[in-house]
Amino acid sequence: MTIDAFLQKLSAFVGDDYGRQFRNQFKDNAGSSELAMLAAPSRQEYEELKRAVAIMTAVEKENAAKLTDSQVAKIAEDACIDQGKFAIFINGFALDCRRG
């Protein structure tokens, strides 16, 4: 699976009512429930992830499951998105690749 295909797979769950209910049950003090982001991303989270993936180089996309923390941080910074959320997305992609 490619990083673009993984992002597309998430699009089916953007703003999902059940996902939003699930996230509300586990939200943190900020109400963001970042760890549940891959199950039901908000529209804003999805758009941010799309922006980050769009600026990735071909080499970064090809090796997305093996990006270092500093590479993930740099991409997130360049895309002006939260580094933690992008790291969760990349880690979710890496796990999905391992599941095969």
Say what percent of the chain tops pLDDT 90: 56
- pLDDT tens-digit map of 86-98: 999 999 999 989 9
Cα(13)–Cα(16) distance, integer angstroms = 5
With CA atoms as reference, report the closest residue to 4 among 44, 67, 48, 56. 56
Contact 53, 7 (CB under 8 A): yes
Helix axes of 83-99 and 69-79: crossing angle, nearest 10 degrees: 130
pTM for this one? 0.84
- pLDDT tens-digit map of 2-34: 999 999 998 988 887 777 777 677 666 655 556
